[in-house]
Amino acid sequence: METKIKVSENRESRLLVNYSLDLGRDLGISKFLVFAESIQDQRYILQKKETEKIVFLLPRKSKIKDEFYSECSVIYLPDQQLSRSEQFQLGLLIAVINNLVEHDETVLCLTGLVGSLRLDNLLITNLQRDNKWFQNHAYETVPVDILRSREFVRLLDISLKLAKQGREGKKIGTIFVLGDQKSFEKYMKPMILNPFYGHPLKKRNIHNSDLFETIREFATLDGAFVVDNKGAIQNAGVYLSPPNNKQVKLLKGYGARHTVAALFSAATDSLTITISESSSQVTVFFKGGAILQFNQD
């Protein structure tokens, strides 16, 4: 029975790929974003493509065969489970920032449930048409050294994991600030003695997997984490006091933590990631606007 299911799912993926390529050619779409964890799907897509440009979206822990790299581009996403729409949101944003897709270009996206190893969903989208942030904000102002960085994706990974797991059965709410601390120190005030002061950079770097439990513990404190552009945590338990900005318009339902994170991003060149304690929603702010949202409930 299991073999029959795998054969059926493999056939479904291939039929969807064939249909999508034909549809894209009929519509004049040349860019495809594909969340394909299966090497079989990756190989089949690359075999069937003609002039199309393929961008694979993969969890960081996934691998792709070396011989595929010359035929495609690869974007690595957080390892935490993302919905189909979240895969598209994050994948498209990173693709635009890395000049793999134009912000006003129509793209065909294929995806499936994380871990299912099959494709089951098709979406045709245009960021400028369908994404409010690309309509209302100048994306060129985003510091590409932040959004192109492994640090941004790693912080998202940590935030999504904290939002999903919490601590000892209780939800966690906190803020991560990613950027150059020296440029926004005037809007920060330590609430406690810096728990990361004096520790080696390697031990307080977010890429160090052993650091996660420490982050989880300090996430229960009021205040924010400050992370530099190389991934080192500079401080925790920091009070953020950005100036008020009437141009920052928040959606209904946002609390004090989201308001502070949005205002701080508007006043600085930093990017802020907020975990809502009430809803476990993870929101990324830049220049006062919410550019990404991930729902964990």
Rounded to whole angstroms, how far apart are CA atoms 261 and 238?
12
pLDDT tens for residues 28-71? 999 999 998 888 889 999 999 999 999 999 887 777 899 999 99
Sign of the dihedral through C-alpha 233, 234, 239, 243:
negative
Q: Which pLDDT value is given to residue 116? A: 65
Residue 285 has pLDDT above 50, yes or no: yes
What whole-number percentage of the chain has pLDDT above 90? 46
Residue with tokens 């011989």: 67
pLDDT tens for residues 66-76? 999 999 999 98
15 and 132, same domain (yes or no): yes
166 and 288, same domain (yes or no): yes
Assign residue 289 the CATH number of its domain.
Answer: 3.40.1700.10
285 and 154, same domain (yes or no): yes
Tell me the one-letter amino acid at 188. Answer: M
Q: Which residues neighbour 146 within 8 Å (Cβ) at sequence distance 6 or greater?
A: 152, 178, 179, 229, 271
Two structure tokens written together for 254 = 């946002």
Q: Are 149 and 229 in contact (CB under 8 A)?
A: yes
Q: Which pLDDT value is given to residue 236? A: 95
According to DSSP, residue 210 is labeled G
pLDDT-based confidence at residue 297 (cuts at 50, 70, 90): low
Higher pLDDT: 261 or 3? It is 261
The residue among 120, 136, 152 that closes a domain is 136
Average pLDDT, the chain: 86
Rounded to whole angstroms, how far apart are CA atoms 171 and 114?
23
159 and 32, same domain (yes or no): no
129 and 156, same domain (yes or no): no
165 and 94, same domain (yes or no): no
Rounded to whole angstroms, how far apart are CA atoms 239 and 192?
9
The region of weakest confidence among 90-99, 144-153, 196-205 is 144-153
Please give the residue range of the domain that contains residue 102.
Answer: 2-136
Q: Which pLDDT value is given to residue 97? A: 79
Assign residue 73 the CATH number of its domain.
Answer: 3.40.1380.20
The residue among 105, 136, 167 that closes a domain is 136
Residue 137 has pLDDT above 60, yes or no: no
125 and 235, same domain (yes or no): no
Q: Which pLDDT value is given to residue 5? A: 44
151 and 238, same domain (yes or no): yes
Q: Which pLDDT value is given to residue 88? A: 83
Residue 240 has pLDDT above 80, yes or no: yes
Q: Which pLDDT value is given to residue 7? A: 46
Tell me the backbone φ, ψ of residue 58, rounded to 5 degrees. Answer: -135, 145
161 and 111, same domain (yes or no): no
51 and 114, same domain (yes or no): yes
**Region 86-101: what's the mean pLDDT?**
85
**Region 127-138: what's the mean pLDDT?**
67
Q: Which pLDDT value is given to residue 246? A: 80
156 and 131, same domain (yes or no): no
The residue among 112, 136, 160 that closes a domain is 136
283 and 169, same domain (yes or no): yes
Domain count, the chain: 2
**Region 241-247: what's the mean pLDDT?**
87
| 49-54 LR contacts (CB < 8 Å, sep 24+) | 49/21, 50/21, 50/25, 52/21, 52/24, 53/100
According to DSSP, residue 183 is labeled G
Q: Which pLDDT value is given to residue 4? A: 43
CA contacts within 13 A on the Cβ side of 189: 5
